[in-house]
Structure 1
Amino acid sequence: MMVIRRRLPDGLAIAAACAFVFIAAYRIDLPGLYMDELDFVNAAQGAPDNTMIHMRLGSVPLFIMPYLGALKAWIYAPVFSLFGVSALTIRLPAILLAAVTLLIFFQLMRAKLGAVWATVALWIMAVDPANLFPSRLDWGPTVLMHFFQAAILALWFSYRDKPGLWKMVLIFVCFGLGFFDKFNFIWLVLAFVIGVSLCYPDSLKNIWASSPRFARQMGAILALIALGAILYFVFPLLLHFHPGRAHTMGLQMKWEELLRTLGGVGVAHLIFGNSSRIIPFPPFWLIVTDCYLALACLFFPMPNAEARENRKNGFFFLLIGFLIFLQ
């Protein structure tokens, strides 16, 4: 009986991931393919011409656009080579990767909140249209971005529980791959660094003190190389898309677009041409509720060390979300 109870959350998590894949893949050819789904296809087939190719390394496609790397094309190259190009081969890998991302989040939540809350949250995400449709269409594209974000957060909290240098190495690898995939991943990188510095300074000290001298030196060198690469690739984009020549959104418009995205209104309009059946207000009230709960937790005394740690973790996630929104 105890074995069944221990394994039940895992079974429910796998069932949620399967339900997500089944719903997201239903009539997978509809709606028709659109630009974000097709911009990497030429590169994934070896780039016989320069359609949607911004930069090459020899004959290998390196960038699809000035801000979009060819990582997705490299991943899809063997898929297209074996099964050809179709709505199925374009969309199903993205759906499967999104399901893996859900399972990573489940393991993270289970470690911090317990199996019950993790299972409830997983099932909500698995059947939420605001998650299903963007994953089906890789709207953005964002599926790889979400995978790397989930991996970084899971690795970080795993490091907090049981330190290991290899976990930090994998975090830096995910930083690099996420940035190469799409340059706006830098928003998460900056928010993560600031959040960790403010919420977990003890872990930063432990990383520095426990790392061998060679690892610290290599880390500093790689950080400088990464900073140079970011400036080399991003600075020209900032000059090209200068605020004086391009339209810049005000804070209110950014807020409205955030609510449209979280509520599924934006992707529903893309798919159906009409978002009138989407209930638009839940994201707003969920954000308001989160803010009130955060304030309550801030002033509520918590003598239990585990409760204080969970409160810190909650503020860490809120801080990351807030910093990404500001950027």
Structure 2
Amino acid sequence: MARRSTSFVCQSCGAVYPKWTGRCESCGEWNSIVEEQVSGGVGGGPAKTKPSKGRIVPLVGLQGDTKEAPRIKSGIKELDRVTGGGFVRGSALLVGGDPGIGKSTLLIQAAAAFARLGHKAVYISGEEAIGQVRLRAERLGLTDAPVALAAETSVEDILATLQDGEPPALLILDSIQTLWTEQADSPPGTVTQVRASAQAMVRYAKKFGTTLVLVGHVTKDGQIAGPRVVEHMVDAVLYFEGDGAHQFRILRSVKNRFGATDEIGVFEMTGSGLSEVANPSALFLGERSTNSPGAAVFAGLEGSR
């Protein structure tokens, strides 16, 4: 029987070391290195004893007919603005933000808007039970939307469920850190599991033309937790920012293969969910006290806002 080798992987940046050390030399984090099983192959599965013969890929020139990527508008204008005019079929997006900032609220509203337009939308929660998601939908007034809901963390079970019927137009996984696959021996949340699970779900989205939205946790520095390779695997990375003590939220794009990265979407958190702010200038100027001494107004431009 072959001896299984292990390596030590930093859970913050994904750097690999032959032995354990207290501090990662790559990112500088302390106590972030964890022992993990070494998996064979790019997909995280067991190594094959004999490599399979590859297929011949046709080579084409630079000149040819090109078409704009087909998009599906969600109906939420601020969200469509940040994504570049709607979600691209077969694309993968990673959404990050502080806990409790409203990521799940925004995405359940987007799933409901998709479903009401006649598109199949699937929302899979790995952190909350079905009852908790239903309570949020009831509070937001979304119970009439035909959204398919499930609470599952196994990648194999999720793929088997999706392949049993018609591929959805929108698939939301909340969150990527809770998923695990049998192709990796590490516990959920580790670099190996996050990378292998994300790769399997992105492969499904590209194959069936499903728009995939992954929710990611953030670190204390405000960056999406986990290896940076996940950000390279997706087509767009969005950050949902805001102060928990105030009701305003900003959706910002830091990477977008199908649109600009300088656009922002402004939302207001209300008792009935997130509402769009069509004119942020008037909103923020309206809060200014004209009687306060030393008040100043400046013109700031970000994208078209």
Measured against the shorter chain, the TM-score band is under 0.3
Q: TM-score with structure 2 length normalisation?
A: 0.27
**Which of the two has greater helix per residue?**
1
Q: TM-score with structure 1 length normalisation?
A: 0.26
- The structure whose RCO (Cα within 8 Å, separation 6+) is larger is 2
